[in-house]
Structure 1
Amino acid sequence: MTWEKLGQIYRFKAIDELLISHASNPLAVHLQDDIFRVFFSGRDKENKSSVGYVDIDIIEKQVVAQCKKAVFQYGERDSFYSHGVSIGNMYEVDDTKYIQFMAWQIRNQGHWRGDIGRLIIDDNLERMKLSPNSVFIGCDEEDKVSLSYSWVVFDEGIYKMWYGSTVDWTSENSEMIHVIKYATSKDGETWTRHGLAIPYELGVAQAFSRPTVIKDSSGYHMWFSYRSGDGTKYRIGYAFSLDGIQWDRKEDSGIDVGKVGKWDSEMICYPFVFEHKHKKYMLYNGNDFGKDGFGLAVLKEDK
């Protein structure tokens, strides 16, 4: 498996007072022909994240339009998403389009933590609103500390979700242990949690985030961000599964950081993999969690 980088296709420029830096967590939705609307999480001067978008022709690798202002804003001071909104993927339940998001919050100057919120997006892909107006999926006995990015698909008659969960804020190498778990739902509303999905290993891969999953004739493929705990910044990892439950984590994802001085020379993270015209594409962020925008890669065909 090898990804061919097609370059940084979106270089971020300030849009409004809520979106002055970053285009993190790119999420592609097909509009027409080769045009995709790519939603992202941008930040304001206080580093709080809201949602914007840009429309891109992925074949010509050109920006054709962008939002004039944020389409969804982080919440009030005491809300569950008071410090930011980091988006996952879009999926449908009974013809309603949803996007789940990691809801950031900091209480009493303590450590940040996350819950999972849910947005409804209108058919024009222009406006978003909370649904429900509270935490959609929060911590419980399975996930006691903090939650993060989720990826949801309807597959084999049920909804399947892979999501991030914090085991501990620190470990023996001072890196957090944040893993990817699995849950299912019959109706997209009530979820049953099934525990760990991707095996982790201290000092190798122990801080995961932002899973993206595609199923094909061979099985389930997942890409994700991860840190090893040795001080290396985010890299993109890969895992394979025959059933979506038991996963084999691979050492090589087929994509790595760029050359010294490039926009992705220090870090690559927050992958979003999607298919178009029988090819698999990946949107991803580079240095500083996507401060300067995002890039595009295409999976090279095996020969």
Structure 2
Amino acid sequence: MIKKGLIFSIDKMADWAQTHAQVPTVDLIGDRFRIYFSTRDSFNRSLTSYIEVSADNPKDILYVHDKPILDFGKLGCFDDCGVMPSYIMNVGNKKYMYYCGWNTSTTVRYRNCIGLAQSEDGGETFSRMFDGPIMDRTKDEPHLVVTPCLLFEDGMFKMWYCGGTEWKMINGVAEPQYLLKYAESHDGIDWIRPNRVVIPYKHENEAIGRPSVIHDGGIYKMWYCYRDIAEYRTKKTNSYKIGYAESADNITWVRKDEEAGLTLSEEGWDSEMQAYPYVVVYKGKKHLFYNGNGFGKGGFGYAIIE
């Protein structure tokens, strides 16, 4: 792994973009990477915008979009407090954006579901396909679903996503615990959800999120982030790290976190945390985009996977 450094961060750029450039979500358009990200307003609500960078040198920023591409959902809907991108997919002449909807709760801090928006102008603007989520809590998955990654293979949409298993009280605060699961769809909208775990916990207080999957040389390769559910905001030993797993058949996955190859920097933007990976292949090179300190408050950067 060769670290290339910080690409972009936000510091009071606009009323709707006060802090954070979180969950980088990349679409390759010609010789550019369009990087969608989640930012936060003064009320700590997430909105989505994007920048464009040179695909040959992603630290060369070519364009910064000056407005959100999708507004909050309607009052009372699953995304009325936040809209966070997770995956962009070309479907016919449209682009689908699978996103994470946020709304606040009472007994726990928030609820997450997966929504779907579409673009008919090449990804510059998006509109909701539905006011409700395409994946929500169910009788088998009662806590949360969030941060999907997709591939289209063998006539099927394949999704890897983060599914909640429990909220635990840690030092008087309700903390979510989640791992990675798998679902399939014929149309990318209605999903068959066998409640199948693909990346289980290594220990009872782990949380695993934001998968990024590619099919490379006959092997499914997945990057994700994992952390402890206690003191992960204040202790870097407990904070998010980038993990890695492989599978030959997309059924049995083997965790190989030691092969992820990304370590904390001595100082700077990713010296305390590394989270929310997104892998894109360009000219034969695997580009790993990720967040650093503060869940994206320090911005996002990239590395090259060797």
In the alignment, which residue of structure 2 is the partner of 1:254?
A: 261
> Structure 1: how far apart are the matches of 2:108 and 2:175?
18
In terms of mean alpha carbon deviation, does 216-225 or 14-23 score higher?
14-23
CA separation of 1:230 and 1:139: change in aligned 2, threshold 3 A = closer
Residue pair 2:77, 2:131 contacting (<8 A) in 1 also? no
CA separation of 1:176 and 1:70: change in aligned 2, threshold 3 A = closer
Q: Structure 2: any 5+ residue segments left out of the alignment?
A: 232-237
What do the CA deviations read for 1:130-153 (whole angstroms, capped 9, x no partner)? 111211111112211111110111
Residue pair 1:175, 1:207 contacting (<8 A) in 2 also? no
What do the CA deviations read for 1:13-72 (whole angstroms, capped 9, x no partner)? 433211111110111112222x21111000001110000111111433211111011111
Q: Which amino acid aligns with 1:161?
A: M
Of 99, 107, 114 in structure 2, the residue corresponding to residue 101 of structure 1 is 99
- Deviation, 1:191, is 1.0
In the alignment, which residue of structure 1 is the partner of 2:79?
A: 81
Residue pair 1:91, 1:98 contacting (<8 A) in 2 also? yes
Q: Which amino acid aligns with 1:198?
A: I
How many residues were matched structurally? Answer: 295
In the alignment, which residue of structure 2 is the partner of 1:201?
A: 202
What do the CA deviations read for 1:95-148 (whole angstroms, capped 9, x no partner)? 331111111111347431111111112333210111112111111122111111
In the alignment, which residue of structure 1 is the partner of 2:39?
A: 42
Q: Which amino acid aligns with 2:180?
A: I
2:138 pairs with 1:132: no
Residue pair 1:203, 1:228 contacting (<8 A) in 2 also? no
SS of the residue aligned with 1:182?
Answer: strand
CA separation of 1:187 and 1:298: change in aligned 2, threshold 3 A = same
In the alignment, which residue of structure 2 is the partner of 1:191?
A: 191
> Structure 2: how far apart are the matches of 1:175 and 1:17?
29
> Structure 2: how far apart are the matches of 1:289 and 1:111?
16
RMSD: 1.9
> Structure 2: how far apart are the matches of 1:264 and 1:145?
30
What do the CA deviations read for 1:76-108 (whole angstroms, capped 9, x no partner)? 442211221121111133433111111111134
Aligned ranges 1:1-303 → 2 under 5 Å: 3-33=1-31, 35-60=32-57, 61-108=59-106, 110-170=108-168, 176-194=176-194, 195-202=196-203, 206-229=206-229, 231=231, 232-252=238-258, 253-259=260-266, 261-300=267-306
Percent identity, aligned pairs only, is 33
> Structure 1: how far apart are the matches of 2:75 and 2:155?
39
Residue pair 1:100, 1:119 contacting (<8 A) in 2 also? yes
> Structure 2: how far apart are the matches of 1:267 and 1:40?
18
SS of the residue aligned with 1:65?
Answer: strand
> Structure 1: how far apart are the matches of 2:55 and 2:4?
10
TM-score of the pair, normalised by structure 1: 0.91
- Deviation, 1:154, is 0.3
- Deviation, 1:292, is 2.7
Q: Which amino acid aligns with 1:62?
A: D
SS of the residue aligned with 2:121?
Answer: coil
In terms of mean alpha carbon deviation, does 278-287 or 240-249 score higher?
240-249
SS of the residue aligned with 2:294?
Answer: helix
Residue pair 2:177, 2:229 contacting (<8 A) in 1 also? no
SS of the residue aligned with 2:50?
Answer: strand
- Deviation, 1:157, is 1.9
> Structure 2: how far apart are the matches of 1:292 and 1:12?
8
Q: Which amino acid aligns with 1:51?
A: T
Q: Which amino acid aligns with 1:212?
A: S
Q: Which amino acid aligns with 1:225?
A: C
TM-score of the pair, normalised by structure 2: 0.90
